[in-house]
Amino acid sequence: MHTKKTFEIIRSKILLTLDNNLAKDLLYHCTDHTIDVEMQAERIALNEKIFNQDDLFLLKVACLYHDSGFIFTYNEHETAGCNLAMNELPAYGLSSKELDIIRGLIMATKLPQTPQSRLEEVICDADLDYLGRDDFFSISNNLFLEFRSRGFVASENEWNRVQIKFFKEHKYFTDTTKILRERKKLEHLEMIEALI
């Protein structure tokens, strides 16, 4: 059983690391995104009746580290994030079994998402929660600017085509997120398609 204090120490340290080390052109994969994913994951988990404190601890720690690999690399950032977590977390008394769960949670967010457990379904849905939210277009624009600055897309039209393909391949996993986000996500897809 890990204490709330242990979690707060881990959280403060990794958020400070992200603030100090993430590239400034990461307008989407920034500290705010990490905090949002942590918050959404806890909300989804509780709605899914996941009340076990150890499970919630591991889920939230994984959320905090899930994009930390962007400090080191853009491609394969999930693996780099796992490596950072595996290096840092044993100092807080996490067992090898707990580290394996965290590794699985981080890797589950790799696209295309392939969660293998309920906790992995939760982190996947939390990571892409914004697709069905009212703040979708402002967040999506940050991702467009990030992609454009890295040469992944050249124009808004190209970006919209990328988004349409992504939307059509993406699916939510938890009942909570399907009920809360699916309808709005489909509305966003229709709006993007209308721009093409």
Express each pLDDT in 138-163 by its tens digit.
999 999 999 999 999 999 999 999 99
Q: Which whole-number Å values give the CA distances from 14 to 8, 61, 75, 107, 113, in the listed order?
A: 10, 9, 20, 18, 24
State the pLDDT at residue 2.
87
Q: Which amino acid is at 37?
A: V
State the pLDDT at residue 1.
74
Q: CB within 8 A of 42, min separation 6: which ones?
A: 56, 59, 60
State the pLDDT at residue 119.
98
State the pLDDT at residue 34.
98
DSSP 8-class letter at 112: S
How far is residue 128's CA from residue 126's CA, in Å, rounded to a whole number?
6
One digit per residue, the tens of pLDDT, for the chain of length 196 reads: 788 999 999 999 999 999 999 999 999 999 999 999 999 999 999 999 999 999 999 999 999 999 999 999 999 999 999 999 999 999 999 999 999 999 999 999 999 999 999 999 999 999 999 999 999 999 999 999 999 999 999 999 999 999 999 999 999 999 999 999 999 999 999 999 999 8
The pTM of this model reads 0.97
